[in-house]
Amino acid sequence: MEISFRDLITVLHGMGFGALFMLAFSGAIGVIYATAVVGAEIPVPRRANRMFRFYLISMATVAWLAVLSGAYIIYPWYRAAVPPGVTDLGGYPRSLLLSSPFTAGWHDLGMEWKEHIAWFTPIAMTMVAYVFMKYGPQLALHKHLRNAVLGFTAVAFFATAVAGGFGAFLNKYAPVRGGDEIVLYEQH
């Protein structure tokens, strides 16, 4: 059982960072709600508050890792120019998609949207983590701060869902492949 190096990095980008962020999203809403809404009446223990901070900082970190690995490692592989004389577009996902009117939309809409919208997530989550660290349980006293934090968190979720969803489809129609083959499991 083998996987190419580029496949492995793409999996790390999509499943390791992107999917992990999506999974953590409901927890983030819970953390903010528990501290800023319920925390006003039932104070959150200091230790739990520290854990909540760590949780949101981790989410922001994962969001940065997702966009940086996407833009600076995978995207160059995706958009690599086809050398003259090459007719097999298997190793050139962007060109492969654009070569047919039936798949061009996956690039024109999917990748063009994904490559930009994903960046709203780390910006939003860095802000959310900062505000949470700065105010902690005091967020309960600042209703408008809390609303903005929840709003930006929801937009971060939407942005990640769009980027992740299109990423999965793009990788179905024109997978980013190549590099050394890595053996994951050998059958004897």
Partner 1 sequence: MQITNGPGAAAILAAGIGSGTLGVLALAADASPPISHALAFWPPSGDLSGVTTVAIAVWLVAWAGLSRRWATRDVDLVRVNIAAFVLLLIGLLLTFPPFMDLLQGK
The residue ranges that bind partner 1 (CB under 8 A) are 67, 71-72, 75-76, 79-80, 108-109, 112-113, 115-117, 119-120, 123-124, 126-127, 130-131, 134-135, 138, 141-142, 144-145, 147-149, 151-152, 155, 159
Asked if 153 contacts 124 with a C-beta cutoff of 8 angstroms, the reply is yes
Which one, 55 or 119, has the nearer CB to partner 1? 119
Which one, 144 or 172, has the nearer CB to partner 1? 144
Which one, 10 or 126, has the nearer CB to partner 1? 126
How far apart CA 20 and CA 5 sit, in angstroms, is: 21
The DSSP secondary-structure symbol of 88 reads: -
CB of 120 to partner 1, least distance (A): 6
Q: Give the closest residue to 151 by CA, choosing from 28, 41, 34.
A: 28
Which one, 112 or 180, has the nearer CB to partner 1? 112
CB of 127 to partner 1, least distance (A): 4
CB of 137 to partner 1, least distance (A): 11
CB of 71 to partner 1, least distance (A): 6
Q: For residue 163, give Cα distances in angstroms to 44, 120, 159.
A: 34, 11, 6
Asked if 94 contacts 81 with a C-beta cutoff of 8 angstroms, the reply is no
CB of 2 to partner 1, least distance (A): 26
CB of 136 to partner 1, least distance (A): 9
Which one, 100 or 138, has the nearer CB to partner 1? 138
Which one, 108 or 181, has the nearer CB to partner 1? 108
Q: Please tell me the chain's helix, strand, coil percentages from 3-state DSSP, rounded to the nearest 5.
A: 75, 5, 20
The DSSP secondary-structure symbol of 165 reads: H
Q: For residue 18, give Cα distances in angstroms to 54, 84, 120, 159, 179.
A: 18, 35, 13, 11, 22
